[in-house]
């Protein structure tokens, strides 16, 4: 009964606040944080306003503060510096659960979710990022990208949304800018290139969101990530993003913009060049 009541409360909180989420004033953040603190009293959670998010975690206070003030704030600052003029359009909550047991228990209790990933996810409908923070901050940074894309590039196809998000799963700061390093997705992509299952860029960029997400081996994510990585390494990623946004009405897939930014007449030849580049990478 108590579990059902908690689930009902959080569903009600999300529903009743949905109509006021357009109010993203500092006072609105504090009001929502106060509500959450009251309902979580004596349950071992820390609640911190770190705009444009409210961060809630069940690790020790100082650990939650570290995630909020260092990782989340730093990520947001650098993403806005390079890409995004607008904050997410709603007040979003980031829930940081200390281990997988807590993550799964509270995802079900608070949101009636049964996660299909051990790492974490963004739920646009619930205005919430739900994380198993024991797995590290990579997924957190990835998922932070999505609500910013949602606010700044609502017509973005899945390939770019996920390509940019996954680029920063393994990231740091280089010359004051956010920078994506090679990561675990590289091996699967290299295997896919060897077995010739990686589609052309024209095919990949033309996928509907459903087609992109249905691919089970992770090759689409990896191809999109390492296309973004290539653009980053050539100093073209920010230019591509800005031109893609500007031309999305006439080039909704981004393929023509990609070809123009790369200054490549023959995209078949470029794909061979990119594949050779990827095969030399290490992680």
pLDDT tens figures, 259-279: 999 999 999 999 999 999 999
Claim to verify: residue 102 and residue 167 sit in the same structural domain: no
User: How confident is the model at residue 215, as a pLDDT?
Assistant: 85
Scored b (16 or more CB within 10 A) or e, 82-97 reads ebbeebbbbbbbbbbb
Claim to verify: residue 142 and residue 246 sit in the same structural domain: no
Alpha-carbon span 128 to 9, nearest angstrom:
15
Claim to verify: residue 185 and residue 102 sit in the same structural domain: no
Claim to verify: residue 193 and residue 269 sit in the same structural domain: yes
- Of 152, 170, 194, at which residue does a domain stop? 152
Comparing 107 with 3, the larger pLDDT belongs to 107
Claim to verify: residue 203 and residue 139 sit in the same structural domain: no
Residue range(s) defining the domain that contains residue 39: 2-152
Single out the residue of 158, 26, 146, 157 nearest to residue 75, CA to CA: 146
Claim to verify: residue 263 and residue 142 sit in the same structural domain: no
- Provide mean pLDDT across the span 184-201: 97
Scored b (16 or more CB within 10 A) or e, 224-261 reads bbbbbbbbbeeebbeebbebbbeebeebebbbebbbeb
Cis-peptide into 52, omega within 30 deg: yes
User: How confident is the model at residue 42, as a pLDDT?
Assistant: 96
pLDDT at position 14 over 50: no
Where residue 107 sits, what CATH number does that domain have?
Answer: 3.40.30
Claim to verify: residue 144 and residue 174 sit in the same structural domain: no
**In which band, very low, low, confident or very high, does the pLDDT at 217 lie, cut at 50, 70 and 90?**
confident
pLDDT at position 9 over 50: no
pLDDT at position 12 over 80: no
Alpha-carbon span 178 to 171, nearest angstrom:
7
pLDDT at position 232 over 90: yes
User: How confident is the model at residue 216, as a pLDDT?
Assistant: 79
pLDDT at position 224 over 50: yes
Claim to verify: residue 104 and residue 172 sit in the same structural domain: no
Claim to verify: residue 116 and residue 254 sit in the same structural domain: no
Claim to verify: residue 112 and residue 194 sit in the same structural domain: no
- Dihedrals phi, psi of 121, to nearest 5 degrees: -160, 165
- Of 119, 152, 185, at which residue does a domain stop? 152
Claim to verify: residue 123 and residue 162 sit in the same structural domain: no
Q: Which residues pair with 49 in a beta bridge?
A: 54
Please report which helix (H) or strand (E) contains residue 161, including its range.
Answer: helix 158-167
- Of 89, 119, 152, at which residue does a domain stop? 152
pLDDT at position 8 over 70: no
Worst-scoring range by mean pLDDT, 16-25, 89-98, 197-206? 16-25
Claim to verify: residue 60 and residue 119 sit in the same structural domain: yes
Length of the chain: 283
User: How confident is the model at residue 19, as a pLDDT?
Assistant: 37
Domain count, the chain: 2
Contact present, 178 and 78 (Cβ < 8 Å): yes
User: How confident is the model at residue 1, as a pLDDT?
Assistant: 42
């Amino acid at each position: 009964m108590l579990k059902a009541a908690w689930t009902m409360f959080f569903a009600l909180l999300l529903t009743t606040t949905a109509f006021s989420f357009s109010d993203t004033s500092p006072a609105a953040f504090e009001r929502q944080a106060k509500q959450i603190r009251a309902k979580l009293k004596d349950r071992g959670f820390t609640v911190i306003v770190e705009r444009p998010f409210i961060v809630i975690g069940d690790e020790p206070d100082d650990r939650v503060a570290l995630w909020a003030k260092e990782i989340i704030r730093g990520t947001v600052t650098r993403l806005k510096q390079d890409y995004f003029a607008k904050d997410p359009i709603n007040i979003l909550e980031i829930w940081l659960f200390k281990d997988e047991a807590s993550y799964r228990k509270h995802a079900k209790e608070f949101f009636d979710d049964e996660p299909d990933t051990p790492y974490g996810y963004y739920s646009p409908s619930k205005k919430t990022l739900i994380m198993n923070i024991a797995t590290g901050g990579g997924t957190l940074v990835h998922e932070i990208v999505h609500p910013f894309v949602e606010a700044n590039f609502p017509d973005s196809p899945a390939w770019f949304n996920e390509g940019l998000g996954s680029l920063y799963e393994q990231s740091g700061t280089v010359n004051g800018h956010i920078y994506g390093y090679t990561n675990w997705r590289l091996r699967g992509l290299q295997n896919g290139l060897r077995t010739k299952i990686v589609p052309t860029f024209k095919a990949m960029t033309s996928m509907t969101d459903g087609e992109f997400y249905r691919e089970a081996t992770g090759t689409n994510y990896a191809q999109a990530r390492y296309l973004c990585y290539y653009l980053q390494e050539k100093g073209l990623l920010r230019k591509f993003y800005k031109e893609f946004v500007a031309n999305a009405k006439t080039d909704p897939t981004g393929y023509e913009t990609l070809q123009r930014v790369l200054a490549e007449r023959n995209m078949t030849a470029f794909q061979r060049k990119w594949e050779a580049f990827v095969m030399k990478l290490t992680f």
